[in-house]
Structure 1
Amino acid sequence: METSRRTVLAAAAAAGLTASATGAAHATPTRTAPAKELFGRMPDGTKVERWTLQNGGTRMKVLSYGGIVQSLELPDRHGRYTNVSLGFDNLDDYLTATTYFGALIGRYGNRIDKGRFTLEGTTYQLDVNDGDNSLHGGAKGFDKRVWDVEPFSGASGVGLVLRYTSADGEMGYPGTLKVKVTYTLDARGDWRIDYEATTDKTTVVNLTNHTYYNLAGEGSGTVLDHELALAARRFTPTDKGLIPTGELAPVSGTPFDFRRPKTIGRDIRTAHPQLVTGQGYDHNWVLDKGATSAPEPFATLRDPGSGRTMKIATTEPGVQFYSGNFLDGTLTGTAGRVYRQSDGLCLETQHFPDSPNQPEFPSTVLRPGQTYRSATVHQFSAR
């Protein structure tokens, strides 16, 4: 049963918060200018900065390395803050891990079959880093690069503009790609990501963010009791290498049906061939809304225990829902606790995996003179 509005107001006031008409607790919309500190140094001595953003009751810490969201602090229904993003407390762990905690992903989010595709008559071989496939841009994708960061504070909120130029041939991709990503926290405390990119040679682009969420709190245990809803009637089944078969399969009558909210753990142990292949959920859902010019809502994630709720809107036609299947207890997070299977989940807005080799999928081709644009908004509340 939800906490009453009077209880929410009292708890919010005690924490210096206000409450919306829906009973969702929010911080008073005052903002703090972005602040930076030294987080560490790369092996070559390059500085890695950590930026702190705060607005509308949301607190976020972002690294210049990989554009990584190191922490995302949100209040629960009683106004108590905790970090809900998985990550590390030191740079060395980020340098060696292959989990992509909180990172910007590029040039191509998700997998490309055998790391190979043909574009305008030329076949390109990418860096292969996931069995026979290329994953998330290769072994040194955008998550392993130091980005230039410029802070801002204005009418839209507070945030960071991150820039990186990927050289022609980097990780095997054609064209010099100039990338600009903007993180904004608005007066409500909602987090918006805007992606832009241009190229001097025809290439493929699929950018996303790989934050792992646990709305009960980082290091608190499983997310299998989180409730998820996805506005998607279809998903893309995969082969044993997690490459889409090309089919757009209906979710109806399968464990992949999240059209009505249900707990993530309800069907995850079902002996469905796709759940066996992925060791859980690690699939692309085809969003009913398709690709849109402005972000449209498609997902709601809620932790019943804390009341924290995240609604997501995007311009993208797909989302990769990953249930943290390969977290195996070998990594220690910021709270000093190890991460085990399903201790966090990802909802990566995207075009579809392996689109360069799947002509029926929405195109990820970017040509000179064009500008790649994508936007995703995360709206936070506590009920």
Structure 2
Amino acid sequence: MKIIDNLFGHYNDESVLEYTLVNDAGMSVSCLNYGCIITKIMVPDRSGKIENVVLGFENFNDYLDLSPYFGSVVGRVAGRISNSQFELDGHVYQLTPNEDRSHLHGGKKGFNSVIWKTEPFQDENAVGLKFFYHSPNGEEGYPGNLDTSIIYRLNNQNELTITYEARTDQKTIVNLTNHSYFNLSGNLKRDVSQHILQLDSERFLELGLDKIPTGKMIDSRNTPFDFKHGRLLKSGMNSSHPQNVLAGNGYDHPLLFTKKGENTVALSEKESGRTLLVTTDQHCVVLYTGNHLEGPYSISGVRARNHLGVCLETQGLPDAINKPDFPSIVLNPDEVYHAVTKYRFFSNTIGV
């Protein structure tokens, strides 16, 4: 196992470094100290061919100008906050709007667009990186000084573990996730329409026209949102279900896990033989099938088009601070925000 680093660019007169974690099984994970962005995940297919299975750019400026959060950590709060505001202990906090009237993924200066202090590490069983960022009181409108640490850890079982922790000196809200776009075909040879998704979920959150949850939890059984026994993603892309149409012909929805505690999401692509197992302690996974990726730019040499990647954003429920029936995302000064998500890659498939 080893760690390689190289200069990737500059941001506000600071060096942007790309670190590559390499295990002994042929897998590697590359990421930046800017936004904790995962730029590449290289894993073998069923024949042993190692290819990249996430969307990313070769040039740093593309992340500044074009990126829809490719590979980044988003926060302080993932997802949209309605009207860019929330109330806490009788005080209304106004956040920075960055998507019409909504506050999305932490605002204009979210965790995805700052330099993180980074410490590489290696132990007997893994290589990894520890990221640190201090978000001052009032940044993007949030209360409290928030100190966040994130650990990326790669072992020889082709498992990448992301551990999130945060502490505050004032009551605030926190909901973190990683926004990687996966494509298991390898090097973007195909879109994700033939990817199969499977998870134990019987409800999803209804979205309003602003893509923010209405607060209603819908029974997903016998709908395009039923993934209990595995479903091709194209079934939602081609669906006439009002929620699929509203999302831009696909998915952009929080899927609620049936049971509390640790849950696993399985994503596979038969042609490559690759399978990704995502295990998390979070309440839901936001499934986004890249419905708005199309544009006059390229991603690692491939013309951008819709459905070229799929996001599996493990997190608390979006806009939870404004939905009293949702699990709380409030963090108190005497508490530690803690979340863990593991990504394990195999070269086999699951059936539909």
Please confirm whether the aligned pair reaches a TM-score higher than 0.5, indicating the same fold: yes
- For the 8 Å contact 1:57–1:188, the answer to whether it is kept is no
Structure 1 CA distance for aligned equivalents of residues 89 and 236 of structure 2: 43
AA aligned opposite 1:304: K
Structure 2 CA distance for aligned equivalents of residues 173 and 193 of structure 1: 24
Structure 2 CA distance for aligned equivalents of residues 114 and 331 of structure 1: 31
Alignment of 1:264 with 2:233, yes or no, is yes
Q: Percent identity?
A: 40
2:169 maps to 200
Alignment of 1:316 with 2:282, yes or no, is yes
Q: 1:311 to 1:358 in 2, by over 3 A?
A: same
- For the 8 Å contact 2:26–2:50, the answer to whether it is kept is no
Q: 1:214 to 1:263 in 2, by over 3 A?
A: same
Length-normalised TM-score, structure 2? 0.96
Alignment of 1:244 with 2:244, yes or no, is no
Alignment of 1:145 with 2:114, yes or no, is yes
- For the 8 Å contact 1:160–1:184, the answer to whether it is kept is yes
Q: How much does 1:332 deviate?
A: 1.1
> Gaps (5+ residues) in structure 1?
1-30
- For the 8 Å contact 1:297–1:311, the answer to whether it is kept is no
AA aligned opposite 1:45: D
2:60 maps to 91
AA aligned opposite 1:345: V
Among candidates 246, 264, 267, match of residue 277 of structure 1:
246
Structure 1 CA distance for aligned equivalents of residues 336 and 191 of structure 2: 40
Structure 2 CA distance for aligned equivalents of residues 372 and 262 of structure 1: 33
2:343 maps to 378
Runs of 4+ in 1 over 2 A off after TM superposition: none
Alignment of 1:287 with 2:257, yes or no, is yes
Alignment of 1:122-161 (within 5 A): 122-161=91-130
Structure 1 CA distance for aligned equivalents of residues 114 and 259 of structure 2: 33
AA aligned opposite 1:186: N
Length-normalised TM-score, structure 1? 0.89
AA aligned opposite 1:50: E
Q: How much does 1:214 deviate?
A: 0.3
Structure 2 CA distance for aligned equivalents of residues 282 and 69 of structure 1: 21
Alignment of 1:1-383 (within 5 A): 31-32=1-2, 34-42=3-11, 44-55=12-23, 56-279=25-248, 280-290=250-260, 292=261, 296-334=262-300, 336-383=301-348
Structure 1 CA distance for aligned equivalents of residues 13 and 42 of structure 2: 30
Structure 2 CA distance for aligned equivalents of residues 169 and 98 of structure 1: 25
Q: State the aligned residue count.
A: 346
Structure 2 CA distance for aligned equivalents of residues 220 and 303 of structure 1: 12
> Gaps (5+ residues) in structure 2?
none
Q: How much does 1:379 deviate?
A: 1.0
Structure 2 CA distance for aligned equivalents of residues 380 and 315 of structure 1: 18
AA aligned opposite 2:22: Q
1:220-275 CA-partner distances (Å, limit 9, x unpaired): 23100011112111000010001111111110121111111121102422211111
Q: How much does 1:297 deviate?
A: 3.3
Q: How much does 1:339 deviate?
A: 1.8
1:26 maps to none
Structure 1 CA distance for aligned equivalents of residues 297 and 273 of structure 2: 27
Secondary structure of the residue that 1:171 maps to in structure 2?
A: helix
